[in-house]
Amino acid sequence: MKVYKIGDNILKYRFGTPFPTDAVVKAGEGIEKDSIDYFQIEEKEELKLLYKMAPKDIVFGLGENQRGINKRGGKYISFCSDDPNHTPGKRSLYGAHNFIIIDGMENFGVFIDHPGKVVFDIGFNHKDYLEITIENKNFDLYIIEGNSPREIVSSFLNIIGEGYVPPKWAFGYQQSRWSYPDAEKVEEIADKFIENNIPCDAIYLDIDYMEDYKNFTVSEERFPNFKEFVEKMKDKGFRLIPIIDAGVKIEDGYEIHEEGVEKGYFCVDSEGEPFVAAVWPGKVHFPDFLNRESRLWFGKKYGKLIDCGIEGFWNDMNEPAIFYTNRGIEQAIEEAKNAEGKNLNIDSFFGLKDEFRNISNNIEDYKSFYHNIEGKLVNHYDVHNLYGYNMTRSADEGFKKISPNKRFLLISRSSYIGMHRHSGIWTGDNHSWWEHILLNIKMMPSLNMCGFLYSGADTGGFSDDANGELAVRWTQFSIFTPLFRNHSAKGTRHQEPFAFDEESNSIMKEAIKLRYGLIPYIYSEYMKAIINKDIYFAPISFEYNDEYSRRVEDQLLVGDSLMISPIYEENSRGRYIWLPEDMLLWKAKDYSERKYEIVEKGHRYLDIDIDEIPIFIRKNKVLVLGKHANTVDDIDNEELVVIAFAEDKASYTYYDDDGRSLDYRDGIYSKIIIEIEKREDDYQINVENHGNKDIKRLKLEIVDREGKVTKKTINI
């Protein structure tokens, strides 16, 4: 074991010869040390790290996973999985995010940098023990110390590098469905948004836009003159976001297939032939994204669609999902033949059933193909969790070659720590279930801790049918998530706001308009979090350390100023909340109508009508609010409403930039610093403008401890 020190508070323990994942961007200095802090090690066939948790310890992290914000009580398996049924017992979803924080008697973070299978048993087998099992003994273990979970997260974000920033328009509302199958339907949807006056910035193209599900092709029949169509839609205010899948269809004459085979860009089987699996188009090869050359080759192909005016993509099925292989089908048929005419008992019948059920995404298949890493063949199974990450890295690297300073929208389904430098993620195939709104709420801070700030769920739910109330309540939560996309599966009820009854449509519309009004705050908080290596969504215990706050799982901090308490139960017209301090409540309905009330610290029951979104402004904090428009580009930025809950003073730093380029990385952005201080019966206001040329007026609404509102206008 070698030990390295990174900064003052991070130690990296290197076991064996780990596969380079590129998750961490900071190297350390070697030091002399022969024992591991905090953990006991058990070494058998696998390596096990053991830690005895104190009764009140909380374990945060693990990004995309089931269960609570506090991960205690569960067992989680990091193995990127194409599993559309996110039921509570599931141990693997699409991402592998091996970072946890222990917060209690001792405070430290742990990151297992290993691209194969890792199991986190957090008090499942034995309630007091954290057991981390790493199947392969070549890995890096990082231990990060800090005084608080926030400090630990920040140190972690610092070593995994600066997060992805999408273009500003990608903070607008986005409408998706599997599928809007042709240009006519896409335009009809766009026109309905316009007719209904509902803001929307993007419409997604699911697999049916392609010719026979072939990546980087467009069906001539369904989308004739694609380039002109993209332009036309942009003129109407909508960007089109096509899907790209991991598998490349095997077909003579299909350029990507032929080139890939010829140049050896695909993963190979044990005979050295391109590995064959089946996904949407039938038989496919998988590009070897772990190989640099293949990655560069595939990344450049995005240019075909970028040349048509496309500015965003979603990378899918990149765990990679395998519907079947010949091996799986043959084995199942063999079993079926053996069973023919027999009197099957409990074991043989269920065995037969499982044989068919396990045809898809079978471990045997993942073990039967290889990546070519600098001339050496590496079995896919050992590096499985890096596949989606590197597909998405390939796209990002392609974008940087095509248009080096332009921001593209990019989201991926599968991910690994470090991918957050290249793209955001959506949380995959959820259901139109109330339970999945709650899961979405709990997952957001965990994803943030692992670096994935630009993320969100399929609002309204992917599988199953949503009713109006579920769509309304989910939308009311999603207006706070940086990625705000409504998506639904084939065969389910349509989920656009206007697909529901008049009342639901109108409430969703008001919520979406409010989202556009909140963009100045959301974007400012998002960007400050990226630049300062901080998070956007946090559990309330990250700021309030009382015993109740430490247990709250369904209220979140959004940026530095807000706390939210979403509704996630059907027929509910209110809920219990815990207020760790007095806060200012705005039950937002229509964003131009603002009524405030002070809610005092304590356990409260809050009435929340179907059209209300409770937004709490924390003590001495500020919310900035802009105007809505039908697209982000059309927002009129001249005036900013500044709502302050100022017991004695409050301040806010408003961040903005061009929203399109990567210039912010060179420090090219503007700031307006607003300081409010109470003076007897009035307030002293200090405003410093550092380079903002858009905003001309600040309209202040300052609320004091008694609820008195003082209004002021400041020209800048």
**Strand 370-373 to 596-599 pairing:** unpaired
Active-site hit among 201, 429, 534, 656: 429
Comparison of 150 and 413: residue with beta carbon closer to ligand GLC: 413
**Given CA atoms 349, 351, 352, 357 in this order, what sign does their dihedral have?**
positive
Partnered with residue 672 across adjacent β-strands are 654, 689
Shortest approach of ligand GLC to residue 389 CB, angstroms?
17
Comparison of 413 and 628: residue with beta carbon closer to ligand GLC: 413
Residues of this chain, 566-595, that bind ligand GLC according to CB under 6 A: none
Helices (H), 165-267: 183-195, 226-236, 255-263
- How far CA 243 is from CA of 203, 298, 347, 385, 423, in Å, comes to 11, 14, 42, 21, 14
Comparison of 458 and 704: residue with beta carbon closer to ligand GLC: 458
Peptide bond into 415 cis (omega under 30): no
Residues of this chain, 164-193, that bind ligand GLC according to CB under 6 A: 178
Shortest approach of ligand GLC to residue 499 CB, angstroms?
17
| Chain residue whose CB lies nearest ligand GLC | 178
Angle at 578 between CA 573 and CA 584, to 5 degrees: 80
Shortest approach of ligand GLC to residue 390 CB, angstroms?
19
461 interacts with ligand GLC by CB under 6 A: no
Question: Is position 374 annotated as part of the catalytic site?
Answer: no
> How is residue 402 annotated by DSSP?
H
Tokens 């997604």 sit on residue? 204
Shortest approach of ligand GLC to residue 278 CB, angstroms?
14
213 interacts with ligand GLC by CB under 6 A: no
Shortest approach of ligand GLC to residue 77 CB, angstroms?
20
Comparison of 243 and 511: residue with beta carbon closer to ligand GLC: 243
The residue among 16, 29, 35 whose CA lies nearest residue 139 is: 16
Site string for ligand GLC, 468-507 (x = CB under 6 A): -------------------x--------------------
Comparison of 71 and 177: residue with beta carbon closer to ligand GLC: 177
The residue among 535, 520, 685 whose CA lies nearest residue 158 is: 535
Active-site hit among 121, 201, 316, 611: 316
Structure tokens at 339: 């069973």
Tokens 């919520």 sit on residue? 511
Question: Of these, 206, 510, 534, 656, which contacts ligand GLC (CB under 6 A)?
Answer: 206
316 interacts with ligand GLC by CB under 6 A: yes
Shortest approach of ligand GLC to residue 640 CB, angstroms?
36
Question: Of these, 53, 144, 200, 243, which contacts ligand GLC (CB under 6 A)?
Answer: 243
Comparison of 394 and 463: residue with beta carbon closer to ligand GLC: 463
Instruction: Give 440's Cβ-side CA count (13 Å radius).
Output: 37
Element (H, E) at 509: helix 502-532
Question: Is position 319 annotated as part of the catalytic site?
Answer: yes
Question: Is position 429 annotated as part of the catalytic site?
Answer: yes
Neighbours of 268 (CB within 10 A): 19
CA 480 to mean position of chain CA atoms: 13
Tokens 């569960």 sit on residue? 74
Residue 640 has φ and ψ, to the nearest 5°, of -125, 130
Shortest approach of ligand GLC to residue 214 CB, angstroms?
14
Shortest approach of ligand GLC to residue 452 CB, angstroms?
16
Residues of this chain, 382-441, that bind ligand GLC according to CB under 6 A: 413, 428-429
Comparison of 243 and 518: residue with beta carbon closer to ligand GLC: 243
Calpha distance 412→425 (Å, rounded): 5
Calpha distance 304→209 (Å, rounded): 14
CA-CA-CA-CA dihedral for 217, 222, 227, 233, to nearest 10: -130
CB 325 within 8 A of CB 284: no
Element (H, E) at 370: strand 370-373
Helices (H), 307-421: 326-339, 346-357, 363-366, 380-383, 387-402
Burial class (CB in 10 A: 0-12, 13-18, 19+), 221: exposed
Comparison of 185 and 232: residue with beta carbon closer to ligand GLC: 185
Shortest approach of ligand GLC to residue 317 CB, angstroms?
6
Question: Of these, 207, 443, 583, 606, which contacts ligand GLC (CB under 6 A)?
Answer: 207
Active-site hit among 319, 355, 581, 701: 319
Shortest approach of ligand GLC to residue 287 CB, angstroms?
18
Shortest approach of ligand GLC to residue 243 CB, angstroms?
6
Helices (H), 237-371: 255-263, 292-301, 303-306, 326-339, 346-357, 363-366
Calpha distance 102→174 (Å, rounded): 36
Comparison of 388 and 520: residue with beta carbon closer to ligand GLC: 388
> How is residue 385 annotated by DSSP?
G
Neighbours of 63 (CB within 10 A): 29
Neighbours of 190 (CB within 10 A): 20
**For ligand GLC, how many residues bind (rule: CB under 6 A)?**
9
Footprint of ligand GLC (CB under 6 A): 178, 206-207, 243, 316, 413, 428-429, 487
User: Which of the residues are catalytic?
Assistant: 316, 319, 429
